[in-house]
Amino acid sequence: MKKDQIKKELAARGFDFSMLAEVIGKSPSLISKVASRQAKSQVVALAIAKALGVSVAEVFPDIPAYQLQKPGNEEQRAARQAELRRLLEDDSANN
């Protein structure tokens, strides 16, 4: 989506860049720059997508880095670490 489309869709939901910025603790300028691809921030990109009710891939299909999944909270992170640990232990047992 282009910056103007993002602004229009946010407005249709009763939001704007300054509201989004205040809620996530970022500057309105950064929100605008991310929307127009002048700056990169996965946090801002995800917030925009959530505010629009769509995936980050739908809003920013041209920025593959935004599509990478990072563990969201401590519980998810711990689960991913446990999975990684099992994978690495299985690999070292085979060597």
Q: Is the pLDDT of residue 28 over 90?
A: yes
Q: Is the pLDDT of residue 20 over 80?
A: yes
Cα of first residue to Cα of last residue in the chain, in angstroms, is 48
Instruction: Give the pLDDT score at 61.
Output: 94
At 1, is the secondary structure helix, strand, or coil?
coil
Cα distance between residue 45 and residue 60, in whole Å: 8
Mean per-residue pLDDT, 12-29:
96
**All structural domains of the chain with their residue ranges:** 3-70
Please provide the CATH number assigned to the domain covering 3-70. 1.10.260
Cα distance between residue 30 and residue 36, in whole Å: 10
At 64, is the secondary structure helix, strand, or coil?
helix
At 37, is the secondary structure helix, strand, or coil?
coil
Q: Is the pLDDT of residue 5 over 90?
A: yes
Instruction: Give the pLDDT score at 4.
Output: 97
**What is the per-residue pLDDT across 31-78, written as a single tens digit (0 to 9) for each?**
999 999 999 998 999 999 999 999 999 999 999 888 776 656 788 778
